[in-house]
Amino acid sequence: MNLGPLEIGLIILAVLLLFGYKKLPDASRSLGRSLRIFKGEMKGMKDDGTPSATRPVVVPGEVDLEAVRLDEQARAAEAHAAEARARADAARASVSDPIR
């Protein structure tokens, strides 16, 4: 089965029409990550004969969403604590200075 330049061009045009040019970079990035994970799993199975389901697969350049979520929660807790300290300081100041 030989594909000539016309057939390849038609395939590329069909893909662009189906997915749109804005979604293609995200789709190709996702496909690349999936292939890297699959490749790592296959290598792990060849090395020790079992899948690496117990340990997370680390893909370079990928964001750890759990760490991001925990970081956001920590920042929100710090902001809440700072606001509580400011209210406590304001309450102490109003009690110690009754002229206000």
The 10s digit of each residue's pLDDT in 17-39 is 887 878 888 888 888 899 999 98
Q: What is the mean pLDDT of the chain?
A: 80
pLDDT at position 22 is 80
- How far CA 88 is from CA of 18, 84, 85, 98, in Å, comes to 59, 6, 5, 16
> What was the pLDDT predicted at 65?
75
How many C-beta atoms surround the C-beta of residue 44 within 10 A? 16
Write the Ramachandran bin of 59: left for phi over 0, alpha for psi from -120 to 50, otherwise beta. beta
Residue 74 to residues 29, 32, 83, 85, 86, Cα–Cα distance (Å):
30, 32, 14, 16, 18
